[in-house]
Amino acid sequence: MRWDSISNIVQWGAQDLNYYQKDYLKKQVVYGVLFGIFAFLINFNFIIPIYGHLGLHMGEVFVFLCLIFRGLVPAIIATLLSSLGLFLATENPSLLITTLLQTLVVYFLIRRGFLILIADIIYWLILGLPITYVVITYFYQVTSTDFTQVILIKQAINGVLNISLALLVQPFLPSRLYSSNIANKLPKLSSRIFELSLICIVFPTLLITLILSDSNAQQSEKELEEILRIRAAHFAELSSGYLSYHKKAIENLSEVISELQDEPDQEATLNHWNSNYSGFLTMLITDEKGLVIEGVPEERFEKLLALPELSRLVSDRDYFVKPKETNQSFISEVFLGRGFGNDPIIAISAPYYSGGVFKGVVEGSLNLPNFSDIDATGNAYSVIVVDKSGKVIYSSPALNIKALTVFAQQDMTLAYSSNLPAIEVNEREYLYKQVTTDNGWVVKVLSKPNTLITAYKNNFYKLILTLIIISILALSVTRRFAKQITRPLERLVRYFEAQRPVPTRAMKYLSSEEVESIRLQLINAQSLMIDYQEKLKDEVDEKTKELKKTNEKLELLSRQDQLTNIFNRRGFELATQKVFKLAIRNHNPVTFAVLDVDNFKTINDSLGHTAGDKCLEYIGETLKDVFKRDTDFVGRYGGEEFVVMLAEGSEANHLHLLELFRATIENGSVCYGKQSIKMTISIGAYTVRDDFNISYEGIIKKSDELLYVSKSSGKNKITHKSQ
């Protein structure tokens, strides 16, 4: 009846324990899901936008609260839900890896006594930033070094902000949220004070950094936008002036030609005009039918006159047709000159008259490359001029755009620009601003994004550096203040641990009323403890002596075979491994032998185990008699198997000793009652002599294989090999 009651109690206890474990696990899952739902909602709905299209995700605050209050398993559940919210909001699966690793690493470090904020900073420096760099460089193929740095800084600040906010919120949450099973290593009081001060400094510092950096970035973008607008307007004004200037020159030329009737005078006037207006690649005069009758420069005109009239006819060209129809000057679209080379040109033409009758047009071809004379944007900016039809009239050389090609504009959104539009030109990204001229041309001034992101990055670094310096100064003061609070307590603890008398005088400068109360109580407790320790010390000394003797006996028993009084396997290996390594290092011959009693099972079966034990005792004594040098080691490996290791001496000497032992066993006998028991022994021996590149286990294996040869080839023999 008594045993039945005990059994029932054990079963009930096991059931209660099982129920408790299941209930605890269920609570952990529930807490993980609850914290995770909050993290999911924050990450999915409330990503805080900062400069450009970057953002801060604060859902991990609940992940860290879960880690602090409930431990690792619920925190992992919360992390998975938090990462799901981030993925749905950003479509960035890599955030799952960084947030999950962050939870695991921070938990690992705080279990080893690190402050949680310091643990998070260590994570970002060692793992978080490198992983983020690999993701944005190789998976998202971000090529801008400056933007990469900004993303890395933002991610690290985001992580530290989350954990700082969690630590600030922690004291205001109810203590019943804590799990009693969390067994983190307790920090020192000074470390706790330091951590709280660090959080109070780091959190506002990071917020100020983000706010000021965002403000500076917005200002920089506005400044860049204004610079691009001014440069675009200036270029448009210069280009319009450039065209107006040459248009006026053609109109004046038409008036002069209208007054001249002789061809020599027209030719001289045309040469004069061309020399004064160097922007014109060619200039020509046609008759009323559109046939070119004069032209400069002369070398081109001479070639043109040699052509048939059909090749000199330009009546199909707009610069002839339009002035004839409208009686006004005309600026054409961009085209390739016919008969005057393959340069893209703009034709500016005006009609001339004689007696009020249309007699033809004068035309000048502006060579587009001369637009480079008014392109004063510098290396930091580039220009594209596009006509009404979308053809490129001019582009800065750095853009490598061929003239007269249709400019297919590819607008895009850059993550590090809030307001400025962006385009891609020859697989390069540019921010731009455009202005339309009076004649319908579109002037675009382009800037590389690095101009903007570099300013943002540099401002970021400057602010961070300034705030780090301020934080270091503030934290050094805080650290010293924390030491002053805890030093009196640590002083009392040191005295108490060292069993030295607690000082009777207070440290007035550093002490406090609470510390003094503890000091007086420690003085009373210390006197009682010292008396008790004196008595305990005497008892411990006596027990220690007894224990030492017992341990020495146990140590001997653990290394020695009780039957044969030689080494057992453990003792043999402990004694020989170092000697073996030393012999191998010094290139001294070593012989290892495995010995086995032949037909020992027959002795045990026929005469009993007592007779077998007598035989084993005899073998042990014989081993000690034959192998008695300091460098000879013998042991019983188990059952009827023995081992011998011989160091020092020659290989022949080793074999002589082994043969002596074998012969002694063969010629001797064991008396058991009225019977005399004869035995033989088989030996496998291996000698290391030349090649010392062999392990301890290797020589044992080779010796064991040689023993097998002795056994299988007649027994009662030595099978030996050497290198």
- State pLDDT tens for residues 553-595: 777 777 888 888 889 988 898 889 888 998 888 888 999 999 9
Measured between alpha carbons, how far is 111 from 103 in angstroms, rounded to an integer? 12
Residue pair 642/618 in contact (Cβ under 8 Å)? The answer is no
Span 127-137, mean pLDDT?
Answer: 85
- State pLDDT tens for residues 150-190: 778 778 888 888 888 888 888 888 877 777 666 555 666 66
Q: Over pLDDT 90: what percentage of the chain?
A: 16
Span 474-497, mean pLDDT?
Answer: 70
Run of H or E residues at 490: helix 449-497
What's the token pair of residue 718?
A: 């030595």
- State pLDDT tens for residues 627-652: 988 889 999 988 889 999 998 888 89
∠ CA 192-198-200, nearest 5°, is 105
Residue pair 437/239 in contact (Cβ under 8 Å)? The answer is yes
The yes-or-no verdict on residue 13 having pLDDT over 50 is no
Q: According to the model, what pLDDT value does residue 16 have?
A: 46
Residue pair 36/141 in contact (Cβ under 8 Å)? The answer is no
Can you say whether residue 629 is alpha, beta or left, with left for phi > 0 and alpha for psi between -120 and 50 degrees?
Answer: beta
What's the token pair of residue 235?
A: 């270029």
Q: According to the model, what pLDDT value does residue 598 have?
A: 92
- State pLDDT tens for residues 285-313: 898 999 888 888 877 777 776 777 777 88
- Give every strand in the sheet of 718-722, ordered side by side: 632-638, 641-647, 590-597, 681-688, 718-722
The yes-or-no verdict on residue 461 having pLDDT over 80 is no
| Residue 501 vs residue 534, higher pLDDT | 534
Q: According to the model, what pLDDT value does residue 593 have?
A: 94
| Residue 346 neighbours by CB under 8 Å, 6+ apart | 243, 331, 332, 333, 334, 365, 366, 368, 393
Torsions phi, psi of 328, nearest 5? -135, 160
- State pLDDT tens for residues 256-273: 988 876 777 788 888 889
Question: Looking up tokens 């170092």, which residue turns up?
Answer: 578
- For residue 513, name the pLDDT band (cuts at 50, 70, 90): low
Instruction: Pick the range with the lowest mean pLDDT from 112-126, 275-289, 397-411.
Output: 397-411
| Residue 700 neighbours by CB under 8 Å, 6+ apart | 592, 594, 643
Run of H or E residues at 634: strand 632-638
| Residue 188 neighbours by CB under 8 Å, 6+ apart | 486
Q: Residue 382's closest CA among 399, 368, 400? A: 399
Q: According to the model, what pLDDT value does residue 519 have?
A: 65
**According to DSSP H, which parts of 560-608 are helical?**
569-586, 600-607
Q: According to the model, what pLDDT value does residue 178 have?
A: 75
Identify the burial level of 623 via C-beta atoms within 10 angstroms of its C-beta, where 0-12 means exposed, 13-18 middle and 19 or more buried: buried
- For residue 614, name the pLDDT band (cuts at 50, 70, 90): very high
Q: What is the rounded average pLDDT for all residues in the chain?
A: 81
Q: What is the chain's Cα-based Rg?
A: 49
Residue pair 552/623 in contact (Cβ under 8 Å)? The answer is no
Domains of the chain from N-terminus onward: 2-187 (1.10.1760.20), 260-372 (3.30.450.20), 502-554 (no CATH), 569-722 (3.30.70.270)
- State pLDDT tens for residues 339-357: 545 566 788 999 999 888 8
Measured between alpha carbons, how far is 580 from 584 in angstroms, rounded to an integer? 6
Q: Over pLDDT 70: what percentage of the chain?
A: 83
What's the token pair of residue 59?
A: 């859902």
What's the token pair of residue 38?
A: 């909050």
Half-sphere exposure of 495 (CA within 13 A, CB side): 17
Enter the pTM of the model: 0.52
Identify the burial level of 474 via C-beta atoms within 10 angstroms of its C-beta, where 0-12 means exposed, 13-18 middle and 19 or more buried: middle
Question: Within 10 A of 702 (CB to CB), how many other CB atoms are there?
Answer: 20
- For residue 242, name the pLDDT band (cuts at 50, 70, 90): confident
Q: Report DSSP letters for 71-139, one per residue.
A: -HHHHHHHHHHHHHHHHHHH--THHHHHHHHHHHHHHHHHTTT--HHHHHHHHIIIIIHHHHHHIIIII
Q: According to the model, what pLDDT value does residue 12 have?
A: 47
